[in-house]
Structure 1
Amino acid sequence: MTPTFPADVTQVGLAVDVAAFAMHAGELRVLLVQRGELPHARDWALPGGLVRGGEELHEAALRVLHTETGVELEPRHLEQFHTFGEVGRDPRGRIVSVAHLAVLPHGTVEVSSGGHTLGAEWLSAHRPPPLAFDHRSILDRALTRLQLRLEYANLALEFLPDTFTLPELQGVHEAILDRPLDKRNFRKRLLAQGILTPSGERRVGVGRPAQLYRRAKSARAAAL
């Protein structure tokens, strides 16, 4: 006999929403899509959708990220960070969403519309346009999570190429925190943590060549 749920149990849809971040011209941006169907047609939203049968949650997150925005590159970081299940969050029915935080590779990742979206763009993470559903709450919590991960997981390094300067690393921290940091204190604290190692190379540009750093092997192992 096949087990059944009690008659008073509400059917619930399981979804994923993805807050995908990247650095663009020194600014932290989030990947948003413009919805092409009701509800909230033409409004901006985080990429998301229902989870398919037999699909793992991280697989669903990667699928909607690809189909709705055209992103083909694997995120450098992907994690579940909160479940949103408030009654009435979606007018189509009871939908519980497992929100994911993603960091896309360094540089401008090209995006395009796909699925049921009209467009996809990298927009300001701290000052986004009005968002559909409860996606502003999801984005705000994702930003808080990202800021916390700066302190104990060195997540800022995932926004940079393999080698980088200390000003570039400080720029990522400032963009995520949305505030300036004292240069001297920042460098002293980061170098004391032992998470960086000199690459032996310098970046030549205007002025004095800048020392390039990379993530220390011990820091990489601790982040996994």
Structure 2
Amino acid sequence: MTPPATSAVPAMPVGLAVDVAAFAMHDGALRVLLVQRGELPHARDWALPGGLVLSGEELHEAALRVLRTETTVELEPRHLEQFHTFGEVGRDPRGRIVSVAHLAVLPHGTVEVSGGGHTLGAEWFSAHQPPALAFDHQSILDRALARLQLRLEYANLALEFLPETFTLPELQGVHEAILNRKLDKRNFRKRLLAQGVLTPSGERRTGVGRPAQLYRKAKSARSAAL
């Protein structure tokens, strides 16, 4: 029996893009790096750094490129990973564009940023209370935060937010900023020290009160890039 004839539907051209949720700790709070768009659609709205992938360009190379060109950040991220693909129909009014989202942790002390390329500016905002975002970037940020919180538990990603040596209260502060809630001090220290991911640096930080023991990431600690 001859199957009924069907009309061929032409394939829609699909563009491939990257968007980067870049995080850092500033003044004890988790911040995300946003750019103010200078072009339509969503001109003057805030968004995650992002753009189309160039021909012959690897995805991680594209993520680093848009981060540098749109925010003038020159420092290499301490951590960079793909965490989800966003391809919903209609997510971009310019056409069918699929975005591979990346999570980045910028080095401790990365504060000064400015807009580059076609952006009007770049600023750090509260990761948990950002302004209204263009496109579906709030969904991307929400999933990036969930990924970041998950990575705290099995990849020690909090260590990538700190300088080479740090105190236990500083490390606890990173965990609390990412989780957006307070943690019990005694239980936190007991659990972290039992994991064997920290080693004493042999130095103490002096200041007000008792000098605080400084730690660093143990050589045997599992890499956050795994």
TM bucket by the smaller chain?
over 0.9
What amino acid maps onto 1:112 in structure 2? S
Output the amino acid matched with 1:88. G
User: Structure 1 residues 149 and 16 mapped into 2: Cα distance closer, same or farther (>3 Å)?
Assistant: same
Structure 2 counterpart SS, 1:219: coil
Task: Please give the per-residue CA displacement for 1:181-213, whole angstroms capped at 9, x wherever unaligned.
Answer: 000000000000000010000000100000000
1:24 to 23, 26, 38: 26
What amino acid sits opposite 1:207 in the alignment? G
Distance 2:166 2:219 in 1: 15
User: Which whole-Å CA distance do the structure 1 matches of 2:70 and 2:224 have between them?
Assistant: 33
Q: 2-side partners of 1:167 and 1:59: how far apart?
A: 35
Aligned position for 1:61: 63
Check the 8 A contact 2:172/2:188 in 1, yes or no.
yes
Q: CA RMSD in A?
A: 1.2
Q: Distance in 1 between matches of 2:147 and 2:195?
A: 21
Aligned to 1:98, which of 94, 97, 100?
Answer: 100
By how many angstroms is 1:109 displaced?
3.0
Distance 1:40 1:223 in 2: 33
Counterpart position of 1:51: 53
Q: Which amino acid aligns with 1:157?
A: L
Letter in 1 for 2:220: S
Residue pairs, 1:93-172, within 5 angstroms? 93-172=95-174
Runs of 5+ unmatched residues, structure 1: 1-5
User: Partner of 1:206 in structure 2?
Assistant: 208
Return the letter of the residue paired with 2:97. Answer: I
Provide Cα deviations, 1:26-58, integer angstroms capped at 9, x if missing partner: 000000000001000000000000000000000
Structure 1 residue 9: Cα displacement? 1.9
2-structure distance, mates of 1:98, 1:122 = 22
**TM-score normalised by L of structure 2:** 0.95
Question: 1:71 aligned to 2:73?
Answer: yes
| 2:51 alignment partner, SS class | strand
Aligned partners of 1:154 and 1:223 also within 8 Å? no
1:14 equivalent in structure 2: 16
- Give the letter aligned to residue 176 of structure 1: I
Answer whether contact 1:23 1:29 (CA < 8 A) is retained. Answer: yes
Structure 2, gaps ≥5 residues long: 1-7
Q: Which AA in structure 2 matches 1:155?
A: L
Q: Write the deviation string for residues 90-138 of structure 1: whole angstroms up to 9, x where unpaired.
A: 0000000000000000013321111110000010000000000000000
Identity of aligned residues (%): 89
Q: Which has the larger radius of gyration?
A: 2
Work out which of the residue numbers 190, 193, 197 in structure 2 matches 1:191: 193
Contact 2:81 2:225 in 1 (8 A): no
Any conservation in 1 of the 2:70–2:115 contact (CA below 8 Å)? yes
**Shift, 1:10, TM fit:** 1.5
Distance (whole Å) between structure 1 residues aligned to residue 124 and residue 104 of structure 2: 13
Q: Across the two proteins, how many residue pairs are aligned to each other?
A: 219
**What is the TM-score with the length of structure 1 in the denominator?**
0.95
Contact 2:26 2:111 in 1 (8 A): no
Cross-structure match for 2:218: 216
User: Partner of 1:3 in structure 2?
Assistant: none
